[in-house]
Amino acid sequence: MNQVIGSGINRKDGRAKVTGTATYAAEHQIPGLVHGYLVTASIAHGQITNIDTQTAEQASGVIAVFTHNNRPQICKPTNNFMASKIYEARLPLSDNQIHYAGQIIGLVVADTFEQARHAAHLVKVEYATQEPIVVAKNGTFQEAISMFGQKMQFEKGNCATGMTDAIAKIEATYITSTEMHAAMEPHAIIAHWQDADTLTIYEPSQWVIGSQRTYAELFGLPAEKVRIITPFIGGAFGCKAFPWPHAILCTAAARQLQYPLKLVLSRRQVTANAGHRSETEQKIRLGANGDGSLTAIEHTAKSCTSPVDVFAEPCTGITSAMYAAPNLGIEQEIAVMNVGTPTFMRAPGENPGMWALESAMDELAWELKIDPVELRLKNETKEHQHQCLPFSAKHFAECLRVGAEQFGWQDRPQQVRSLTRDGKLIGWGMAASTFPAFRGSASVTVRLLADSTAEILTSGNDMGTGAYTVVAATAAEGLGLPVEQIRVKLGDSLLPNGGMAGGSQMSATLVPAVMAACKEVLKTAQATTAQEAFAALRESGEATLEATASAAPGGEGKKWAFQSWGAHFCEVGIDEEIGRLQVTRWVSVMNIGQVINAKTAASQIRGAVIMGIGHALMEECHFDPNIGYPVVYDFATYHFPTHADIPRIQVTFVGEPDLNFNPAGVRGVGEIGITGVSAAIANAIYHATGKRIRDLPITPDKLL
Ligand code: MOS
């Protein structure tokens, strides 16, 4: 035993990233490459009545201009979630209809990027405009039926009765703003057709095997004729799992022209065209007995979608997992707006959902004069109330207790406005965290080389989360080798199917398969250690020895609900005169099953807390009521935290391996850290100021 698993090893890809040798999609060098630039709609709703491409076509270096009048050939994919999903059901350039500002209405291809961009601005478009809906309150809300087969309405008991019987009641509405993924790497693609039927794509993809299938369907090819290459992703957070219209159009144009074609979106195009998290409005009603035990939880959520696809931000998914209540009801509503299609963004649903629920729990704690940690301990549920299954390896109470202890929560004064320091009001707040545990199936090849190194090969992606490092740590353990002797290759659809980097499932998917493949290769070598295998390899004169193994979930999901848990504790300092708020202290305690690499796992939680601080205090987007464009369009106009906004974030993991879930006991750690962060901050603000803010982001004007 090496004892690598659980220790804190350095990022395998760290050096490549900081020295600039990690190759991102747009950086691949393809001979003969030409460049595309998008033409986008300047109105939010209406029709194109005329589109004149003549001047653009004659501009210097221009190879072709595509519009709905000469759309390159694209087939309609099945578009099922796990089959061949595209982010927008409407294919690019389908017709002359405009559904949102920034919608793609053309593509210019030229010898250079500058020529393409220049010519794109020479395309003359005339529109017949219609009144767009770009403000949620003008939308028509309807019941949201389902998200990927999961029902969004649920009731057990009778909430009305539960509320009538309650001694203490909370009813409040919580708001979140439209948010942008704001990944460092903008969306980009190089589509390279080797011939009319053989395609290689370089694109940031969280799921190369899924993309391979989708592009195959889009272009009427067998999957093996398509190769997706994504060794590195510069941030994704959910907006790089499936092809967006720009990528589909680029690939179609490249096929028709038979040139390798590169298309990089501007920040503004990313903002309008490549997903966002919808704004939400959530109503929570809580009823409780005098001792704090809940009698009813009601949670209704509203979010918005685009005219060309349905994505209902699933805020109520967490509600029946968090706290036990005899009466519990959830509902989701959705309205169509003339905006781009919203999509998955780190803890989709769980993050805004926990903002509302954990704010309401704090309000109830004050109402009942019960400590908010005690209130949560009191109402812990042993089973998932919607799935009707017991939770496996749940250590939520431990997260609360250890967090309270580390933070010094017992010293918290029970009155608002009672702590001050250096002329500032100080507040302490806490909130719970949760995220379901998912797992996919994966195959992994382990190859031993005569030079005493090992290669681990699988298609699964590292979107910056640490998958390279987690795979290396697991293989080091499984083979009994130093981590330096392990090389990991990821993110290529030619490699064995490694599943999807989404839903925080990459570790739970890959780690059991890596373990199995390590065992398999030693068995093949008839060796008990890698050293023995290397010796045998050298003796035989063979260069390599390899084995492939797979791992997949079984029937455990019928017996158990798998979910991760946590608690955040924070301190804020507020200068009320100028509305300035500083987060000054942070403690997070998480229960995620087996931690594979302590360093990257803690880093995932820190990143998520930082993103949560942005969600709580800064991140905001509205759509211009006149032209329908997002009013933010780059990293200067879209505010998110910088170093100066972030305190030291203390992260601790508790619990045990969740061996009911998989042989490694790992549940994953990508998303959970953001959940509850904004509520912990708003709860601390209430403690500091006595002001309950239910509308995110909490900008200085709301604190004055
Ligand atoms: Mo994540 S929002 O499942 O990429």
For every residue of 266-281, DSSP letters joined together read -HHHHHHHS--BPPEE
> Looking at the domain assignment, is residue 136 inside a domain?
no
Please, which pLDDT band fits residue 2 given cuts at 50, 70 and 90? low
What pLDDT is attached to residue 119? Answer: 98
Select from 523, 552, 581 the last residue of a domain: 552
Instruction: Say how far apart CA 312 and CA 148 lie, in whole Å.
Output: 10
pLDDT digits (tens, 9 = 90+) for 443-472: 999 999 999 999 999 999 999 999 999 999
* pLDDT beyond 50 at 100: yes
The catalytically annotated residue of 217, 350, 358, 671 is 671
Residue 486 pairs with which residues in a beta bridge? 454
CB 37 within 8 A of CB 113: yes
- 117 and 88 fall within a common domain: yes
Residues 18-30 have a mean pLDDT of 97
Please give the distance, rounded to the nearest whole angstrom, from the Cα atom of residue 343 to the centre of ligand 1.
9
User: Which domain does 327 fall in, by range?
Assistant: 142-179+276-437+559-703
Q: What is the mean pLDDT of the chain?
A: 97
Residues 250-260 have a mean pLDDT of 98
User: ω before 697 within 30° of 0 (cis)?
Assistant: yes
72-86, 140-154, 344-358: least confidently modelled range: 140-154
> Looking at the domain assignment, is residue 27 inside a domain?
no
* pLDDT beyond 80 at 678: yes
CB 621 within 8 A of CB 177: yes
Residues 683-696 have a mean pLDDT of 98
> Looking at the domain assignment, is residue 6 inside a domain?
no
Q: Which CATH number does the domain housing residue 261 bear?
A: 3.90.1170.50
> Looking at the domain assignment, is residue 54 inside a domain?
yes
- Give φ, ψ of 364 to 5 degrees: -65, -40
Residue 667 pairs with which residues in a beta bridge? none
Residues 141-151 have a mean pLDDT of 80
Please give the distance, rounded to the nearest whole angstrom, from the Cα atom of residue 518 to the centre of ligand 1.
29
- Long-range contacts of range 211-217, CB-CB < 8 Å, 24 or more positions apart? 211/242, 211/243, 211/493, 212/493, 213/83, 213/84, 214/77, 214/84, 214/85, 214/86, 214/242, 214/243, 215/243, 215/251, 216/84, 217/75, 217/77, 217/78, 217/84
pLDDT digits (tens, 9 = 90+) for 486-526: 999 999 999 999 999 999 999 999 999 999 999 999 999 99
- 105 and 215 fall within a common domain: yes
Please, which pLDDT band fits residue 50 given cuts at 50, 70 and 90? very high
* pLDDT beyond 50 at 703: yes
Task: Please enumerate in sequence order all residues whose Cβ is within 8 A of that of 171, keeping only pairs 6 or more positions apart, or say none.
Answer: 283, 284, 285, 286
Edge-to-edge strand list for the sheet holding 124-129: 97-98, 46-52, 124-129
Select from 552, 567, 582 the last residue of a domain: 552
- 517 and 639 fall within a common domain: no
CA distance to 439, 478, 512, 551, per residue, from 474 (Å): 17, 6, 9, 14
Report which DSSP code applies to 318.
G
What the block records as the tokens of 400 is: 């609360």
What pLDDT is attached to residue 234? Answer: 97
- 76 and 115 fall within a common domain: yes
CB 638 within 8 A of CB 619: yes
Instruction: Say how far apart CA 693 and CA 428 lie, in whole Å.
Output: 15
What pLDDT is attached to residue 62? Answer: 99
What pLDDT is attached to residue 152? Answer: 86
Among positive and negative, which fits the CA dihedral 141, 147, 149, 152?
A: negative
Please, which pLDDT band fits residue 163 given cuts at 50, 70 and 90? very high
What number does the ligand 1 atom closest to the CA of 241 have?
4
What the block records as the tokens of 20 is: 């600039």
CB 37 within 8 A of CB 511: no
Q: Please state whether 242 falls in left (phi above 0), alpha (psi between -120 and 50) or beta.
A: beta
- Selection from 454, 457, 443 nearest residue 537 by Cα: 454
CB 241 within 8 A of CB 344: yes
DSSP annotation string for 577-589: TTTEEEEEEEEEE
- 478 and 433 fall within a common domain: no
CA angle 336, 351, 300 (to 5 degrees): 55
> Looking at the domain assignment, is residue 137 inside a domain?
no
What number does the ligand 1 atom closest to the CA of 503 have?
3
- 331 and 446 fall within a common domain: no
pLDDT digits (tens, 9 = 90+) for 4-15: 898 899 999 999
What number does the ligand 1 atom closest to the CA of 206 have?
4
Task: Please enumerate in sequence order all residues whose Cβ is within 8 A of that of 221, keeping only pairs 6 or more positions apart, or say none.
Answer: 197, 199, 215
- 89 and 152 fall within a common domain: no
Amino acid at 684: A
- 632 and 521 fall within a common domain: no
Portion of the chain with pLDDT greater than 70, in percent: 99
Please give the distance, rounded to the nearest whole angstrom, from the Cα atom of residue 59 to the centre of ligand 1.
41
What pLDDT is attached to residue 204? Answer: 98
- 541 and 574 fall within a common domain: no
Any residues with Cβ below 6 Å from ligand 1, and which? 206, 236-238, 241, 344-346, 348, 502-503
**489-499 exposure pattern, b = at least 16 Cβ within 10 A, e = fewer:** bbbbbebbbbb
Please give the distance, rounded to the nearest whole angstrom, from the Cα atom of residue 206 to the centre of ligand 1.
9
Please, which pLDDT band fits residue 149 given cuts at 50, 70 and 90? low
Residues 71-97 have a mean pLDDT of 94
Please, which pLDDT band fits residue 82 given cuts at 50, 70 and 90? confident
> Looking at the domain assignment, is residue 484 inside a domain?
yes
Which of 239, 315, 346 to mutate for ligand 1's pocket (most ligand atoms within 8 Å of CB)? 346
Q: In sequence order, which ranges of 179-301 are alpha helices (DSSP H)?
A: 208-218, 245-257, 267-273
Task: Quote the number of domains for the chain.
Answer: 3
Please, which pLDDT band fits residue 602 given cuts at 50, 70 and 90? very high
Select from 535, 552, 569 the last residue of a domain: 552
Portion of the chain with pLDDT greater than 90, in percent: 96
* pLDDT beyond 50 at 660: yes
- 640 and 515 fall within a common domain: no
Show the 3-state SS of 354-403: HHHHHHHHHHHHHHHCCCHHHHHHHCECCEECCCCEEECCCCHHHHHHHH
DSSP annotation string for 614-657: HHHHT----B-TTT--BS--STTTS----GGG---EEEEE-S--
What number does the ligand 1 atom closest to the CA of 501 have?
4
> Looking at the domain assignment, is residue 1 inside a domain?
no
Please give the distance, rounded to the nearest whole angstrom, from the Cα atom of residue 348 to the centre of ligand 1.
7
What are the percentages of helix, strand and coil residues in the chain, rounded to 5? 30, 25, 45
147-161, 302-316, 518-532, 567-581: least confidently modelled range: 147-161
* pLDDT beyond 50 at 123: yes
What pLDDT is attached to residue 80? Answer: 85
What pLDDT is attached to residue 170? Answer: 97
> Looking at the domain assignment, is residue 663 inside a domain?
yes
Instruction: Say how far apart CA 187 and CA 665 lie, in whole Å.
Output: 34
- 444 and 433 fall within a common domain: no
3-class DSSP assignment, residue 102: coil
Q: Which CATH number does the domain housing residue 653 bear?
A: 3.30.365.10
Axis crossing angle, helix 598-617 with helix 467-479, rounded to the nearest 10: 160
* pLDDT beyond 70 at 570: yes
What pLDDT is attached to residue 275? Answer: 97
What pLDDT is attached to residue 1? Answer: 45
- 423 and 383 fall within a common domain: yes
Residues 581-594 have a mean pLDDT of 98
- Residue with CA at minimum distance from ligand 1 atom 4: 238
- Selection from 616, 650, 666, 657 nearest residue 508 by Cα: 666
Q: Is 671 a catalytic residue?
A: yes
Strand residues in 437-513 grouped as ranges (E): 442-449, 454-457, 486-489
Find tokens 């704010």 and name the residue.
359
Task: Please enumerate in sequence order all residues whose Cβ is within 8 A of that of 451, keeping only pairs 6 or more positions apart, or say none.
Answer: none
